[in-house]
């Protein structure tokens, strides 16, 4: 009878594909696995049994000790519940509801933990697209882009043109002056010209052509062409999108790529960069990978200070409801990987 119950229980566990249900030993190593766990997390039982459950957590959470804290709370209070990002076998993330329960024998000794994980990604995605926060965010992204566009246009249509006219007149003036004065005026013209070049770069950075008219891939392609070839970088754009993301998502993806490419250009000493876009989990999954020098510990405070852009990239992704991470090792290049949701409000 008892054995019969165990078989039934095992059948039940294996049929629950919407729930990852498995056991951990008292140290946090995976003891069992069900079909739901394989479906949600991507590991087969053979791949995961025996490994520590911290592999399911993003690197930052592991560094901050989050997995261990979950177990401690479960030990102290019997149960621990959490919602947050978890990492699949392929490195992508899903939004999880996790319940960890401490399992004790009849004498009260800790035997391990039961862990039940649900994938709430889709629900979270849709909720966020429809809720007030999602609308506010979309509004904010649009407002910020409109402001950048205005500034870029002003720089182009007023500041640059005025300075170009000044340069043209300085050259005319130099041609009418005796040599000793002409030199000074020519140098003045060179200064004006250099400033025009910098303003042009600023305007291009603020509002690359096509960002509000062309599609994401076209804009990114144009930007890569200009920036990568200007820096002597070989580049490769792999656009594997099922459809054009909504404007706010497209802008967020573009701006993060732009920041990642700025880092590659300024710090990586790379010879090539590859940008890969793919539709995944009702969003856009992006990898920007270079073959540069890489760096030791992206979480390291001094590295952070040198790479202000990292924080900005991460914030952009997270504010939009997505995730962002950096993989890098010295000598092995860097990869910026992120995902942002791309659900059109009102489409569900």
Partner 1 sequence: MSGVPDRLTVLIGDDQPLIREALKEVLAAEPDLEVVAVAADAREAVRLAVGHEPAVAILDVRMPGGGAWAAGEIRRLSPATRVMAFSAYGDSHSVDEMRRVGVCEYLLKGLPNSDIVAAVRRTAARPR
Task: Closer to partner 1 by CB, 111 or 198: give it.
Answer: 198
Q: Which residue stretch of 73-81, 195-203, 259-267, 283-291 sits at the interface with partner 1 (rule: CB under 8 A)?
A: 195-203
Please report whether residue 154 would count as binding partner 1 according to CB under 8 A.
no
* The only residue of 209, 215, 246, 345 in contact with partner 1, by rule CB under 8 A: 209
Residue 248 vs residues 153, 283, 303, 328, 339: alpha-carbon distances, Å: 21, 12, 30, 28, 14
Q: How far is the CB of 175 from partner 1 (least distance, A)?
A: 7
Please report whether residue 216 would count as binding partner 1 according to CB under 8 A.
no
Q: Is the dihedral of CA 276, 280, 282, 283 positive or negative?
A: negative
Q: How far is the CB of 196 from partner 1 (least distance, A)?
A: 5
Q: Are 110 and 26 in contact (CB under 8 A)?
A: yes
Q: Which residue stretch of 63-71, 81-89, 169-177, 263-271 sits at the interface with partner 1 (rule: CB under 8 A)?
A: 169-177
Please report whether residue 168 would count as binding partner 1 according to CB under 8 A.
yes
Please report whether residue 225 would count as binding partner 1 according to CB under 8 A.
yes
Please report whether residue 161 would count as binding partner 1 according to CB under 8 A.
yes
Q: At what angle do helices 308-319 and 247-263 cross, to 10 degrees?
A: 160
Q: Are 14 and 34 in contact (CB under 8 A)?
A: yes
Read off the tokens for 146.
Answer: 């409109």
Q: How far is the CB of 209 from partner 1 (least distance, A)?
A: 4
* Alpha carbon of residue 142 to chain centroid: 19
Q: How far is the CB of 144 from partner 1 (least distance, A)?
A: 21
Burial class (CB within 10 angstroms; exposed 0-12, middle 13-18, buried 19+) of 171: middle
Task: Closer to partner 1 by CB, 9 or 168: give it.
Answer: 168
Q: How far is the CB of 169 from partner 1 (least distance, A)?
A: 5
Q: How far is the CB of 191 from partner 1 (least distance, A)?
A: 13
Q: Are 93 and 308 in contact (CB under 8 A)?
A: no
User: What is d(CA 93, CA 285) in angstroms, rounded to the nearest whole number?
Assistant: 10
Residue 120 vs residues 107, 223, 244: alpha-carbon distances, Å: 36, 35, 24
* The only residue of 30, 87, 196, 317 in contact with partner 1, by rule CB under 8 A: 196
User: Residues binding partner 1: what is the number (CB under 8 A)?
Assistant: 26
* The only residue of 160, 206, 224, 241 in contact with partner 1, by rule CB under 8 A: 160
Least Cα distance to 276 among 247, 239, 305, 320 occurs for: 239
What is the contact surface with partner 1 in residues (CB under 8 A)?
Answer: 156-157, 160-162, 164-169, 171-172, 175, 193, 196-197, 200, 204, 208-210, 214, 222, 225-226
């Amino acid at each position: 009878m008892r054995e019969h119950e165990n078989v039934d229980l095992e059948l039940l566990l294996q049929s629950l594909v919407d729930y990852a249900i498995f056991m951990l030993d008292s140290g946090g190593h995976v003891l069992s696995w069900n079909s739901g766990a394989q479906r949600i997390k991507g590991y087969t039982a053979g791949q995961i049994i025996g490994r520590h459950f911290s592999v399911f957590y993003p690197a930052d959470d592991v560094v901050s000790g989050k997995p261990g804290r979950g177990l401690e709370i479960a030990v102290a209070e019997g149960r621990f519940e959490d919602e947050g990002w978890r990492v699949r076998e392929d490195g992508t993330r899903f939004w999880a509801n996790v319940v960890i329960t401490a399992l004790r024998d009849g004498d009260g000794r800790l035997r391990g933990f039961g862990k039940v994980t649900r994938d709430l990604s889709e629900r979270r995605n849709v909720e966020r697209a429809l809720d007030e926060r999602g609308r506010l965010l979309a509004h904010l992204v649009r407002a910020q882009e409109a402001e950048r566009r205005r500034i870029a246009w002003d720089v182009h249509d007023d500041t640059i043109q005025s300075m170009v006219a000044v340069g043209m007149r300085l050259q005319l003036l130099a041609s009418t002056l005796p040599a000793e004065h002409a030199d000074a005026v020519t140098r003045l013209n060179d200064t004006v010209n250099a400033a025009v070049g910098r303003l042009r770069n600023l305007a291009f950075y603020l509002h690359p052509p096509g960002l509000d008219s062309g599609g994401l891939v076209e804009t990114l392609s144009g930007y890569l062409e200009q920036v990568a070839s200007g820096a002597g970088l070989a580049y490769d754009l792999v656009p594997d999108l099922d459809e054009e993301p909504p404007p706010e998502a497209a802008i967020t993806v573009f701006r993060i790529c732009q920041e990642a490419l700025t880092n590659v250009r300024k710090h990586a000493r790379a010879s090539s960069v590859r940008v890969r876009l793919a539709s995944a989990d009702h969003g856009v999954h992006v990898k920007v990978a270079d073959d540069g020098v890489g760096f030791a510990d992206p979480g390291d405070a001094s590295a952070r200070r040198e790479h202000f852009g990292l924080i900005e990239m991460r914030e952009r992704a997270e504010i939009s409801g997505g995730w962002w991470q950096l993989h890098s090792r010295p000598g092995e290049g860097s990869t910026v990987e992120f995902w942002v949701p791309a659900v059109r409000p009102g489409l569900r």
